[in-house]
Amino acid sequence: MSSGFGLLYCAETGSNMGLWKDAKQIAKRDPAARGVLSVMLLYPGFHALIFHRVSHFFYKIHLYGLARWNSQFGRSCTGIEIHPGAKIGHGLFIDHGMGIVVGETAEIGDNCTIYHGVTLGGTGHGKGKRHPTLGNDVLIGAGAKILGPVTIGDNARIGANAVVLHDVPADATVVGVPGKVVRMQGQPVNHADELDHPTVEDPLESEIRRLARHVEALEAAVKHQHPETELPEDTADDYVI
């Protein structure tokens, strides 16, 4: 059975080196790894990839029931639930793994890293594209939730436990709930600096000017109907605020 799985895996990845390459990538990126063989034998994240390649193969040839059965079997073995429809690039490193959910229309680029407890989920019951798209070399910290059809740019880093509901640019670091960009290419981002204070209109001032213009119009109407009425001479633009 396992050799059948291996053949399907190769068919899905389009390369008889896919399995080996994925394991090598994981071994390279995990400082705790003791070699490629230990990754192949002991890493649930790697086993989840094998299950997924097979499920995705079945999904693509419209054997949806078989695809789902295989992915659920993989889930019970690894604690990682990847919908058969999800598209996953090469070199994905799923560290620890338990509690990960990847939705049907999620897409994951090459060489991404995902820790335990991550959700790449949807936000509603609508059909069509409803799950996130990750670029290449993206890192998603433990427990982070990325929800909806958002795009996470290449090299972006999502902090542990962040909740991301909007697109994230390439090279950004996002933390918090809801997720906010705190670093761009490693440099701190101060959102207050993005506001051009001298040109930003004061909302209170604009409201007072609007009211003054209304009063002026009313005064003009009163003056028109009752010319004898005494009214002040100044106009809305005379107000200094």
Ligand X SMILES: CC(C)(COP(=O)(O)OP(=O)(O)OC[C@H]1O[C@@H](n2cnc3c(N)ncnc32)[C@H](O)[C@@H]1OP(=O)(O)O)[C@@H](O)C(=O)NCCC(=O)NCCS
| 181 binds ligand X per the rule CB under 6 A | no
- The enclosing H or E element of 24 equals helix 18-29
Which residues lie closer than 8 Å to 151 by C-beta, 6 or more apart? 132, 133, 135, 167, 168
Q: Examine residue 182 and tell whether it contacts ligand X (CB under 6 A).
A: yes
Q: What residues contact 162, with CB distance under 8 A and at least 6 apart?
A: 141, 144, 145, 174, 175, 176, 177, 179
Amino acid at 155: N
Eight-class DSSP state of 197: G
Q: What is the three-class DSSP state of 241?
A: coil
Residue 82 vs 175, nearer CB to ligand X? 175
Q: How many residues of this chain interact with ligand X, rule: CB under 6 A?
A: 14
Nearer to ligand X, 155 or 161 (CB): 161
Per CB under 6 A, 179 contacts ligand X: no
Residue number, nearest CB to ligand X: 141
DSSP bridge partners of 187: 184
Least distance to ligand X from the beta carbon of 173, Å?
A: 5
Residue 175: C-alpha distances to residues 81, 164, 180, 190 (Å) = 24, 8, 6, 14
- Confirm or reject binding of residue 4 to ligand X (CB under 6 A): no
Q: State yes or no: residue 115 binds ligand X (CB under 6 A).
A: yes
Tokens of 145: 């939730």
Using CB under 6 A as the binding rule, the residues of this chain from 45 to 74 that contact ligand X are none
Among 17, 176, 202, 229, which residue sits at the site for ligand X (rule: CB under 6 A)?
176
Positions in 124-163 near ligand X (CB under 6 A): 141-142, 157, 159-161
Under the criterion CB under 6 A, does residue 29 sit at the interface with ligand X? no
What CA–CA distances, in Å, run from 74 to 44, 81, 205, 221? 9, 7, 62, 78
- Whole-angstrom Cα distance, residue 149 to residue 134? 10
Q: Which is nearer to ligand X, 58 or 93 (CB)?
A: 93
Segment near ligand X (CB under 6 A), from 101-109, 163-171, 175-183, 217-225? 175-183
Nearest approach, Cβ of residue 216 and ligand X (Å):
49
Q: Does 175 bind ligand X (CB under 6 A)?
A: yes
Give contact residues for ligand X (rule: CB under 6 A): 96, 115, 141-142, 157, 159-161, 173, 175-176, 182-183, 188
